[in-house]
Structure 1
Amino acid sequence: MELKNLKLEVEDGIAVVTVNRPESLNPLNRETMGEIQQVAQALEEDGSVKAVIFTGAGDKSFVAGADIKDVKDLTALGGLDLVTMGHRTFEQLNRMTKPVIAAVNGYCFGGGLELAMGCDFIIASERASFGVPEAKIGVFAGWGGVQRLARRVGTAWAIQMNMTGDPIDAQTALRINLANLVVPHDQLLAETKKIARRIMANAPVAIRLIKSLVYAGEGMPVANALVMDVHAAGVAFSTADQREGMNAFVEKRKPNFQGK
């Protein structure tokens, strides 16, 4: 797979995808979005990959936003196509059956925040900052920076962050449930891999079910979502992973899950 704007490394079942444009703080352009789609599809199909981490190249920025030079002259139709591409890209991460973790190492603005929210976890460096500054340049965060953010942190914070365009620091992101964890800057990737390995130690079938149930049930009434849980429980109790996990628990040994 030939990649121009991303770097892909796989080791011990963990894929690290790095947005690799550090000279301009790793902005997202249409080419990069296409590469994210390509990589996500390849990693989903690769049975040796059990978890995926997204991060940014360099020491300053995760992703500083969309590449304004790439989008400033778009027509209305072009803007519609761009937003649709963003939705398709980040929804593809949600649909992956494997855990996807954002390791946010610096600026996480606009499209960068939307990429991070497309992941299942956000692990932030103590130096990370988060923001949606699109209103400062005449648009809004159409890749999820309004809708996903409001669902994640609540209306008050989503309105404040979008209307002021002011960034928040990592500790504030943690406090409002935007970030899952804040870690020392020099330990970010190591700590993120530790979390990936903890997830990988669990039953792959259970992880797939949990992820699909959370996202599918997000917009449903609780009663409807609980019906999905009932059907999914039937699936879980029909798997080799369930038998192995419970037998291992009773026998006081480490389970050997096969993802079946």
Structure 2
Amino acid sequence: MQYQTISLTHLDGVATLRLERPEQANAMNRQLRLEMTQAARALKDDPSVRALIITGAGTQDFSSGQDTSEPVDPLRADEWMAEWGALYESVLALDIPTLSAINGFAAGGGLQVALLADVRVAAADARIVFNEINKGIPTITGAALMVPMASMSVIQDMVLSGRAMDGREACAAGIVSRVYEREAFLPGIAALGATLASMSPVAVRLNKDYWRTLRGNSLAEAIAFGRKAHPVAFAALAAAKKLQSA
């Protein structure tokens, strides 16, 4: 399949899904969300793929999150949230090991995509941030995805202050498991991807089946809450913008 906003390549059983909007800091517009969902669903049915690496094009950005050139209509915020939910579920449904290679700036919804992976690694100079609070948007699913990784005190600080972490701080907080200096980043993720692909597919699948039971309904509940909360937030933003322009 031909994609416009992502690329999907295969090498020796390892698929690499790259967000391909470097001029827009790999921001996630509607087309990218839908293409990534389609790609993940296709990988689910591809027995030749033994591991998946998710990363961003270039060296500066994993993904800056929601594309601000596509403002969310408050009346369609529920639909917008449902599209994000479909993307999350398509990645989490994969039975192969998934690896997020955070090569640079990972913010908001872009960071949430990175959090979907089983294994998360970062460049030492990466910047990891929940910056939605600066835009008047709640971080619902992002918090739910990060709960198994970091303490609530760290999550609440990130969500409410919008402060960024570099790769080393994110590793110390448990958000990523490995950090690479910039010159070692690409060789490091290639080697790790190959290692993950070499493991028993049955054992991997059984591990992932169990991890899904640990997650329970937490993400589904967060998505459901987000489908109620985001229309309220976007309506408030629209009202504030209208007041400013009056």
TM-score normalized by structure 1?
Answer: 0.80
1:64, 1:108 within 8 Å by CA — same for their partners in 2?
Answer: yes
What's the counterpart of residue 74 of structure 1?
Answer: 73
Gap change, CA 1:96 and 1:73, over 3 Å in 2 = closer
What's the counterpart of residue 227 of structure 1?
Answer: none
- Rounded Cα–Cα distance in structure 2 between residues aligned with 1:202 and 1:40: 20
Give the match's secondary structure for 2:47.
coil
- Rounded Cα–Cα distance in structure 2 between residues aligned with 1:73 and 1:15: 32
Residue 210 in structure 1 maps to residue 207 in structure 2: yes
Letter in 2 for 1:88: A
Give the match's secondary structure for 1:69.
coil
2:72, 2:80 within 8 Å by CA — same for their partners in 1?
Answer: no
Letter in 1 for 2:82: T
Letter in 1 for 2:4: K
Residue 158 in structure 1 maps to residue 132 in structure 2: no
Residue 137 in structure 1 maps to residue 139 in structure 2: no
> What CA deviation, in whole Å up to 9, does each residue of 1:131-172 have, x standing for no partner?
001011111224x21221233212101110000011111111
Gap change, CA 1:164 and 1:85, over 3 Å in 2 = same
Letter in 2 for 1:66: Q
Tell me by how many angstroms 1:65 deviates.
1.1
Would you say how many aligned residue pairs link Structure 1 and Structure 2? 217
What's the counterpart of residue 225 of structure 2?
Answer: none
Letter in 2 for 1:123: V
Letter in 1 for 2:6: L
- Rounded Cα–Cα distance in structure 1 between residues aligned with 2:99 and 2:72: 33
> What CA deviation, in whole Å up to 9, does each residue of 1:25-71 have, x standing for no partner?
0001111010011111111211111111011011100001110121x
- Rounded Cα–Cα distance in structure 2 between residues aligned with 1:38 and 1:186: 32
Q: Which runs of 5+ in 2 are unaligned?
A: 218-246
Tell me by how many angstroms 1:82 deviates.
1.3
> What CA deviation, in whole Å up to 9, does each residue of 1:196-242 have, x standing for no partner?
2222222110001001111222349xxxxxxxxxxxxxxxxxxxxxx
> What CA deviation, in whole Å up to 9, does each residue of 1:156-191 have, x standing for no partner?
011100000111111110001000100122322321
2:6, 2:20 within 8 Å by CA — same for their partners in 1?
Answer: yes
What's the counterpart of residue 111 of structure 1?
Answer: 109
- Rounded Cα–Cα distance in structure 2 between residues aligned with 1:43 and 1:219: 23
Letter in 1 for 2:205: R
2:17, 2:55 within 8 Å by CA — same for their partners in 1?
Answer: yes
Tell me by how many angstroms 1:103 deviates.
0.6
2:50, 2:198 within 8 Å by CA — same for their partners in 1?
Answer: no
Residue 194 in structure 1 maps to residue 184 in structure 2: no
What's the counterpart of residue 46 of structure 2?
Answer: 46
Give the match's secondary structure for 1:206.
helix
- Rounded Cα–Cα distance in structure 1 between residues aligned with 2:133 and 2:210: 34
- Rounded Cα–Cα distance in structure 1 between residues aligned with 2:90 and 2:186: 23
Q: Which has the larger radius of gyration?
A: 1
2:36, 2:87 within 8 Å by CA — same for their partners in 1?
Answer: yes
- Rounded Cα–Cα distance in structure 2 between residues aligned with 1:132 and 1:101: 20
Q: Which runs of 5+ in 1 are unaligned?
A: 221-260
Letter in 2 for 1:207: V
TM-score normalized by structure 2?
Answer: 0.84
What's the counterpart of residue 125 of structure 2?
Answer: 127
- Rounded Cα–Cα distance in structure 1 between residues aligned with 2:34 and 2:98: 18
> Could you say what the CA RMSD is over the residues aligned between the two structures, in angstroms?
1.4
- Rounded Cα–Cα distance in structure 2 between residues aligned with 1:73 and 1:34: 16
